[in-house]
Amino acid sequence: MSDVTTERMLRISDSAAERIATLVQMEGKPGMMLRLTVSGGGCSGFQYGFNFDDAVNADDHLFEHNGTKVVTDDCSLDLLDGAVLDYVEDLMGAAFQIKNPNAKSSCGCGSSFAV
């Protein structure tokens, strides 16, 4: 039997990369990255968190698309593996959205999920 390792992945859509780049430019700090976290709580059990950071910690994973960087910690990546970070603008407003194949259900607002 051979050992097969699969690399965990988080994809970033073009629209998310563009929006992150715009926000970083507005902050005036070119080294900033979007930090995506998953924590306990929210309507469905887990919730997504978004903030900007300029540090990569020892247990972080860095993903890049079109020069835009997103960082997430190892535990969060376990729950985000295979997900797509997107930025959507519609009649309801504009927001980052996570299309997460690991989520068995999510709340109506899309900010929390259950596995």
115: closest CA among 106, 107, 103? 103
pTM for this structure? 0.83
| pLDDT tens per residue across all 115 residues of the chain | 444 446 889 999 999 999 999 999 998 888 899 999 998 876 667 888 999 999 999 999 999 999 999 999 999 999 999 999 999 998 888 989 999 988 776 655 555 555 5
Residue 114 lies in a domain: no
Instruction: Find the domain containing 77 and state its range.
Output: 10-106
Report H helices in the chain: 14-27, 74-80
The CATH number for 57's domain is 2.60.300.12
b/e map 52-65, b = 16+ CB within 10 Å? eeeeeeeebbebeb
